[in-house]
């Protein structure tokens, strides 16, 4: 089965119908970036205001130094996070939500809250014996 990306045709109905087909590849890239677990957590943590790198790392359990650096770089590249370096000794760098990233703040907060609220239910569904069976084998 061929999809609209293969045929060069836009979707005829639904949320993708309003997006020109020539923009879909880039839209998918943006969704991949902002939908990344680390990006969402960085955006959520920065909602309280500018933070230094080490403070960010402390506020996001499990993120490695490499992943935090990469995530901050990508978010800054997209204009979602700003990086301000101060000419001090020792040097100080702060990260903050840029206006574009601020627009995502409420959406990200809702997604994180939803995941936390439904944690037990999702975990129970994943542990069901039929949760890993192929969809064709399910009744």
Q: Where are the domains of the chain?
A: 22-116
At residue 9, the pLDDT reads: 59
Instruction: Tell which CATH architecture fits domain 22-116.
Output: Orthogonal Bundle (1.10)
> Tokens in use for 117?
């609220």
Q: What is the pLDDT of residue 34?
A: 84
pLDDT tens readout for residues 3-15: 444 455 566 788 8
Measured distance CA(77)–CA(121) in Å, rounded: 36
Tell me the β-bridge partners of 51: 95
Quick one: CA torsion of 121, 56, 79, 9, rounded to 10 degrees? -20
Instruction: Please state the rounded mean pLDDT for residues 25-35.
Output: 86
> To 5 degrees, how large is the angle CA 100–CA 105–CA 109?
160
Q: How far apart are CA 111 and CA 40, in angstroms?
A: 9
* Residue 136 pLDDT > 70: no
What does the angle CA 81 – CA 35 – CA 92 come to, to the nearest 5 degrees? 25
95 φ/ψ angles, rounded to the nearest 5 degrees: -115, 140
Task: Give the pLDDT score at 28.
Answer: 87
């Amino acid at each position: 089965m061929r999809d609209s990306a293969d045929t060069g045709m836009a979707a005829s109905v639904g949320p993708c119908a309003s997006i020109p087909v020539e923009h879909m590849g880039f839209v998918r890239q943006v969704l991949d970036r902002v939908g990344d677990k680390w990006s969402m957590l960085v955006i959520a943590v920065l909602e309280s205001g500018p933070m230094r790198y080490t403070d960010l790392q402390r506020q996001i359990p499990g993120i490695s130094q490499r992943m935090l650096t990469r995530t901050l770089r990508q978010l800054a590249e997209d204009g979602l996070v700003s990086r301000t370096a101060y000419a001090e000794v020792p040097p100080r760098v702060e990260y903050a939500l840029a206006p574009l990233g601020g627009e995502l703040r409420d959406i990200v907060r809702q997604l994180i809250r939803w995941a936390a609220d439904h944690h037990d239910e999702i975990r129970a569904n994943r542990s069901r014996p039929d949760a890993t069976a192929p969809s064709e084998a399910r009744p």
